Amino acid sequence: MTQTAPRAEPVAASSAAEVRAGWGWLCGAIGGVAGMAVADLTAYLIAPAGSPVAAVGSMIIDLLPAGLVNWGKETLGTADKPVLLVIVALGVLGLCGLAGRLEQRRRYAGGLVFAGVAAIGIGAVLTGDQASLDAIVPTVLGLTVGYLVLRLLLSRLADWSSATAPAAGSETADPLEPTLARRSFLIWTAVVGTVAIASAVAGRLLIATAGAVEEARSRFRLPIPTRRDPIPAGADLGVDDLSPYLTPNADFYRIDTALQLPIIAAADWSLTVTGMVEREVTISFSDLIAKPLVEHVTTLTCVSNEVGGDLVGNAVWLGYPIRELLAQAGVQAGADMVLSTSQDGWTAGTPLSVLTDPDRQALLAVGMNGEALPLEHGYPVRMVVPGLYGYVSATKWVRQLKVTTFDADQGYWTPLGWSAKGPIKTASRIDVPRRHTVDAGQVVVAGVAWDQHTGIAKVEVGIDDVWHAAELAEATGPDTWRQWLYRWDATPGTHEVAVRATNADGQQQTAELARPDPDGATGWHTVTISVR
Ligand SMILES: Nc1nc2c(c(=O)[nH]1)N[C@H]1C(S)=C(S)[C@@H](COP(=O)(O)O)O[C@H]1N2
Ligand SMILES: [Mo]
């Protein structure tokens, strides 16, 4: 008896250390769950392609030998993806648990492991098919939060351990303190753990829905248009750094008020024409794509675009003319506006006359540059109206068209101080040279000019206020921008290079400077170029 007594304390101490180590693993794992939750929720909100767990899963599929992948598909069937995601999640939990244990021994050691996990996630996201810089945000944010959660829980655990250890010089610790510290740690762990798990499950479900919609979107084959809008060979001058005639979808500017990207499955979409109509018409996605669709190239511009700004892009849109749908509903006399409403409640008020104009291709668009609309550009259906700024016409995720009047209704931006009507103003922009220091000799000055639905007839380049005609590229018609180019014989010194366009009505772009609000910026885009 007396021989075993001295051993009792070391045994207890070492098992207490083991228990602490166990808690360290748990704290790390909870940090990992919190991190995945934040990553998935952030991805859902801002960048659906940025979920690191899913991206790592896809990367694993890409790295594994095809035989193994096929074997997985055959044995697991449709469960293959969930199983893979669970494996990835368990891997993250394992690594984060290890991080917890290491952090407990040495500050920042676990942080290094978290950083390593983040690096894998970022690598996977950036090598995915929809890589973009935004897409790394979820991973970075998630693992930062995860590490902070780990630090928080470990500090509670440390409080408990120090309360348990008898204070130096005293026989026993205050019996109350360890209990309190222990309870505090356990409560924090339970609460943070539960919230993390619940958020992770919610995040995964949301991102999985978004993923399924995105997958259906990317598989969707656009119907063949009944009318094409052939692009002349001379539409693109092929100058380096000059905006291409057609803006690739990945580079197309994005403007909307949506904090959360609306995720709409095509099968769940429908659009209702209501208000001052003879009969309400509701159309489903399958009805819409079965209609005769037309293809039209239209340049979209944001009213917020500053002089020289980049909130403008040109795309081939495929869709159904809105006038046809309005005709089916039968517009009542007295109406002068169509208020369109999106899935997320945003609205735009468009002049009825523009939408019913037989010479204007105002579309309910399903396609953008040969593919289904990207989610952030309005999937499955948006409006595109030549000649009007986006805020009064280009409703993305559109669900309702209400035929009404400008007296009775107003679009989202009107009460916020923007003009109720937003016809596009004549504008031009210098894209090239991108660097504003050049060598003397021939310098290509090039850019784009637009005045949708009127068209651009002339572009001039001013070198220190002496104006020269620029060469104009072709275009599909008046609804798109035109590239322009001027070969400048640059002499050493500092020069002011400006551009101004004249539209097809003979109206020269105004030099008068105006801010974007309330109805679009004006002024000549001017750059200072120093020639060596
Ligand atoms: N649902 C919805 N649609 C919207 C907006 C919006 O905030 N919500 N913004 C509009 C504005 S101001 C512009 S300029 C265009 C931009 O379209 P894009 O993001 O496809 O370039 O969309 C329009 N459609
Ligand atoms: Mo806009």
Give the CATH number of the domain where residue 248 resides.
3.90.420.10
Q: Among positive and negative, which fits the CA dihedral 260, 264, 268, 274?
A: positive
With respect to residue 182, please indicate whether it lies within any of the assigned structural domains. Answer: yes
Distance (Å, rounded) from C-alpha 141 to C-alpha 75? 36
- Is the domain of 128 the same as that of 263? no
pLDDT at 456: 98
Ligand 2 mean position, distance from CA 227 (Å): 28
pLDDT at 4: 45
- Tell the residue nearest (CA) to atom 18 of ligand 1: 254
- Is the domain of 139 the same as that of 163? yes
For the CA of 257, the closest atom of ligand 1 is 7
Tell me, what DSSP letter sits at residue 166? P
**Residues forming beta bridges with residue 503, ordered by sequence position:** 456
Q: Cβ(37)–Cβ(52) under 8 Å? A: no
pLDDT at 174: 53
- Is the domain of 505 the same as that of 383? no
Which ligand number lies closest to the CA of residue 397?
Answer: 1
With respect to residue 1, please indicate whether it lies within any of the assigned structural domains. Answer: no
300 C-beta closer than 6 A to ligand 1:
yes
With respect to residue 504, please indicate whether it lies within any of the assigned structural domains. Answer: yes
∠ CA 207-247-292, nearest 5°, is 80
- Is the domain of 33 the same as that of 82? yes
The domain boundary, picked from 177, 209, 241, lies at 209
pLDDT at 510: 98
- Is the domain of 351 the same as that of 243? yes
253 C-beta closer than 6 A to ligand 1:
yes
Per-residue pLDDT of the chain (532 residues; tens, 9 = 90+): 444 444 444 556 677 788 888 999 999 999 999 999 999 999 888 877 788 888 898 888 888 888 888 888 788 877 777 888 899 999 999 999 999 999 999 999 999 999 999 999 999 988 876 677 888 999 999 999 999 999 999 999 998 888 877 655 555 545 457 788 899 999 999 999 999 999 999 998 888 888 889 889 999 999 999 999 999 999 999 999 999 999 999 999 999 998 778 999 999 999 999 999 999 999 999 999 999 999 999 999 999 999 999 999 999 999 999 999 999 999 999 999 999 999 999 999 999 999 999 999 999 999 999 999 999 999 999 999 999 999 999 999 999 999 999 999 999 999 999 999 999 999 999 999 999 999 999 999 999 999 999 999 999 999 999 999 999 999 999 999 999 999 999 999 999 999 999 999 999 999 999 999 999 999 999 999 999 9
pLDDT at 260: 75
Q: Which residues contact 484 (CB under 8 A, 6 or more apart)?
A: 428, 446, 447, 448, 449, 459, 461, 470, 471, 472, 473, 499
Tell me, what DSSP letter sits at residue 423? B
With respect to residue 216, please indicate whether it lies within any of the assigned structural domains. Answer: no
Break the chain down into helix, strand, coil percent, rounded to 5. Answer: 45, 25, 35
For the CA of 313, the closest atom of ligand 1 is 21
346 C-beta closer than 6 A to ligand 1:
yes
With respect to residue 74, please indicate whether it lies within any of the assigned structural domains. Answer: yes
CATH of the domain at 516: 2.60.40.650
Q: Cβ(391)–Cβ(411) under 8 Å? A: yes
- Is the domain of 165 the same as that of 22? yes
188 C-beta closer than 6 A to ligand 1:
no
The domain boundary, picked from 416, 448, 482, lies at 416
**Ligand 1 pocket mutation, candidates 304, 346, 373, 396, criterion most atoms within 8 A of CB:** 396
Helix 5-46 / helix 137-164 crossing angle, nearest 10 deg: 160
pLDDT at 163: 81
- Is the domain of 357 the same as that of 486? no
- Is the domain of 432 the same as that of 411? no
Which ligand number lies closest to the CA of residue 396?
Answer: 1
- Is the domain of 323 the same as that of 410? yes
The domain boundary, picked from 416, 439, 454, lies at 416
The number of C-alpha atoms within 13 Å of 26 and in the hemisphere containing its C-beta is 17
With respect to residue 214, please indicate whether it lies within any of the assigned structural domains. Answer: no
With respect to residue 381, please indicate whether it lies within any of the assigned structural domains. Answer: yes
- Is the domain of 164 the same as that of 45? yes
- β-pairing, 363-368 vs 337-342, is unpaired
With respect to residue 222, please indicate whether it lies within any of the assigned structural domains. Answer: no
**Ligand 1 pocket mutation, candidates 246, 252, 255, criterion most atoms within 8 A of CB:** 255
Domain coverage including residue 518: 427-531
- The SS3 of residue 433 is coil
- Is the domain of 402 the same as that of 449? no
Q: How many domains does the chain have?
A: 3
59 C-beta closer than 6 A to ligand 1:
no
**Ligand 1 pocket mutation, candidates 252, 256, 383, 424, criterion most atoms within 8 A of CB:** 256
- Is the domain of 239 the same as that of 186? no
Residue ranges of E strands in 259-405:
270-275, 281-284, 294-301, 312-321, 337-342, 347-351, 363-368, 371-372, 382-384, 398-404
